[in-house]
């Protein structure tokens, strides 16, 4: 009986692929992406770009998987801040400091590049598009509902505005290089977002 050839989807969920992705995520979070070269990431992992393409189907497949893993690692880190008692305004400021850092901006640049490809090829990138907004808003909404004492519906609206604003300011920073202006805008936005929750708590 002929051996069934594994599909890229099957290979991307294999133990070897997951180990590579774990290592790639740790490397990128610590060192950034450099020049966005698949070869450079492969070299840092002690493998080849061909092996990454083999496991993930294509360069785009690898970058999508990596961004998915990085986003969820960052969500967990952000949730730890909330659990440790950091308020919403400080949590947002800490997130901005993280994402706008020179070592992290290439990851955001990659995110925006894949956004563009995904919008042009929605079928191929449907998993990316489904996750890139929904995963963040659901996590943030849960935190906002507790910290701001608002309804679930209002928390989801706040969360969507927060995600859109931070990503918009990151795109602004990548485009203009105006770190001072974008950071000031983020801090202003964070203070306004936090104000309704503070007012509710202060009012009883």
- pLDDT means per 10 residues, the chain with 204 residues, are 51 88 84 73 90 91 84 68 62 87 84 82 78 77 77 88 92 96 96 66 48
pLDDT given for residue 204 in this prediction:
41
pLDDT given for residue 120 in this prediction:
84
CATH architecture of the domain with residue range 8-197: Orthogonal Bundle (1.10)
Q: How far apart are the first and last CA of the chain?
A: 73
C-beta neighbour count of 107 within 10 angstroms: 20
Name residue, tokens 């801090």: 187
pLDDT given for residue 33 in this prediction:
65
Which tokens belong to 86? 């950091």
pLDDT given for residue 73 in this prediction:
73
Residue 180 DSSP label: H
Domain ranges of the chain: 8-197
């Amino acid at each position: 009986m002929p051996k069934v050839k594994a599909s890229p989807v099957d290979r991307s969920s294999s133990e070897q692929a997951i180990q590579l992705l774990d290592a790639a995520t740790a490397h990128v979070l610590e060192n950034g992406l450099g020049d966005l070269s698949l070869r450079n990431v492969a070299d840092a992992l002690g493998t080849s770009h061909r092996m990454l393409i083999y496991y993930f189907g294509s360069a785009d497949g690898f970058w999508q998987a990596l961004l998915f893993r990085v986003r969820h690692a960052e969500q967990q880190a952000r949730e730890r801040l909330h659990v440790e008692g950091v308020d919403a305004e400080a949590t947002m400021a800490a997130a901005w400091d993280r994402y706008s850092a020179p070592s992290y901006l290439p990851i955001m640049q990659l995110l925006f590049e894949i956004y563009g490809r995904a919008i042009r090829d929605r079928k191929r990138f449907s998993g990316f598009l489904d996750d890139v907004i929904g995963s963040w808003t659901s996590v943030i909404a849960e935190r906002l509902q507790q910290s701001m004492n608002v309804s679930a519906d209002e928390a989801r609206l706040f969360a969507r505005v927060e995600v859109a604003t931070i990503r918009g300011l990151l795109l602004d920073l990548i485009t203009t290089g105006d770190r001072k202006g974008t950071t000031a805008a983020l801090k202003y936005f964070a203070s306004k977002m936090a104000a309704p929750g503070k007012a509710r708590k202060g009012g009883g």
